[in-house]
Amino acid sequence: MPNIKPISELRNYGEVLRDVAIGAPVFLTKNGRGRYAVLDIEEYKEYEKLLAWHRLKDALDEGQRSGEEGGWVDASEVKAHFEERNRG
């Protein structure tokens, strides 16, 4: 069951932080609505990795769609492009 507390509980932040664990964030409400989540730092790091992975996957998927729709660029053209950029 989610651990939900009003933001006013932060007056006793030590109590709130004691309830935070991996897989068990504390959700803080403001005026009865969800507003913040307090996560264990290790869980946050995993969230950041997952987010980066999704961004990379989206970019790769977009590249594949672009290649399929607009045609692929030959590897020698790519090499020449970057060699030219490095000279300039």
- For the segment 17-31, the average pLDDT, to the nearest whole number, is 96
Name the pTM for this structure: 0.69
CA dist., res. 73 & res. 7, Å (int): 54
Distance from the Cα of residue 49 to its chain's centroid: 6
> So where are the chain's domains?
3-39, 43-87
C-alpha to C-alpha distances, 10 to 17, 41, 63, nearest whole angstrom: 9, 18, 46
Share of the chain above pLDDT 90, in %: 95
Q: How many CA atoms lie within 13 A of 58 on its CB side?
A: 6
